[in-house]
Amino acid sequence: MISECPHCRQALKFSEAQLIKLESTFARLPPGGIIKLQCPLCNTPIELGAGGALVNGAAPKPKPSASQASAVGVEPPKSPDVSWLASGAYQEQEELSDIPMALILVDDGPLRAQIGGAFVELFYQPVYPESAADAVDRMRFVDFAAVVLHSGFMGQPFSESALHEYVQAMTMAKRRYIFYILIGPEFQTLYDLEALTYSANLVVNEKDVQYMKIIVKKGLHDTETLFGPWIAAIKGYGNK
């Protein structure tokens, strides 16, 4: 099984449930079939064949510099692997797009480990940005199902958080599909009025993070109960 992205070289971490799903998908894959994953870090597609092997062989080589290219010439791309033609079977690419991702802005440590672990158990793929600016850039190009922000992320005052400002300014066409969670010592767990004040879906006091899994499940259920019919109605009218 692939363990790192062949493009950005960053480690890929799969939960046990995701590995089971991948193994099941590979088992059903016909000759010549391709599974297409998307790297949560660089957002580049990764194509895998039978058994999880990279399609077209090894990972691409680093791009040569301008001086190197002029000196030795640019290597042309490899020709496609057509060995599957003999089988006469063709399978359209299958994208594993049903694995939701959670963008977690919490400083590295036990607190982040607890939060990330809870989301893994809820079948999310955790993504940890390097900064608030990095998180905003990712959100511009990737649809995250959940975003978690600690009020003291990287020592910046919550009132000056670039990520929080970005979420508040988002259009509802995108914002309504993001489960936005605020965590910090100043919040009162599951206090809906406080969450509404901060334009969030859920607030959690960090002392209750040990119960994060059940808190998120409760919050998701309440949000679905409140907004689910409304979102379904909007989709019924052709709006996303």
Does the structure show a pLDDT above 60 at 65? no
- 20 dihedral zone (left: phi>0; alpha: psi -120 to 50; beta): alpha
The encoded tokens of residue 228 equal 């689910």
Give CA separation, 177 vs 61, 91, 187, 194, in Å.
37, 31, 23, 20
**Cα 111 from chain centroid (whole Å):** 19
Q: Enumerate domains of the chain plus CATH numbers.
A: 16-95 (no CATH), 101-236 (3.40.50.2300)
Cα–Cα dist 185/110, whole Å: 15
* pLDDT confidence of residue 84: 57
**What amino acid occupies position 156?**
Q
To the question of pTM greater than 0.85 for the whole model, the response is no
pLDDT score of 78 more than 70: no
Task: Return d(Cα 125, Cα 119) in angstroms, integer.
Answer: 7
Give the DSSP letter of residue 100. Answer: -
Question: What is the dihedral sign for C-alpha 149, 152, 156, 160?
Answer: positive
Q: What is the pLDDT of residue 236?
A: 57
Whole-number pLDDT of residue 226: 66
Please give the Cα distance from 82 to 80 (Å, whole number).
Answer: 6
| CA nearest to 25, candidates 42, 9, 56, 1 | 1
What is the Cα gyration radius of the chain?
A: 21
The band of 74, judged by pLDDT with boundaries at 50, 70 and 90, is low
Taking each helix axis from N to C terminus, what angle separates 132-141 and 162-169, rounded to the nearest 10 degrees?
30
CA neighbours within 13 Å on the CB side: how many for 8?
12
Q: How far is CA 174 from CA 69, 121, 182, in A?
A: 42, 25, 18
Taking only the tens place, the pLDDT of each residue in 128-141 is 999 999 999 999 98
Q: Which residue has the higher pLDDT, 117 or 82?
A: 117
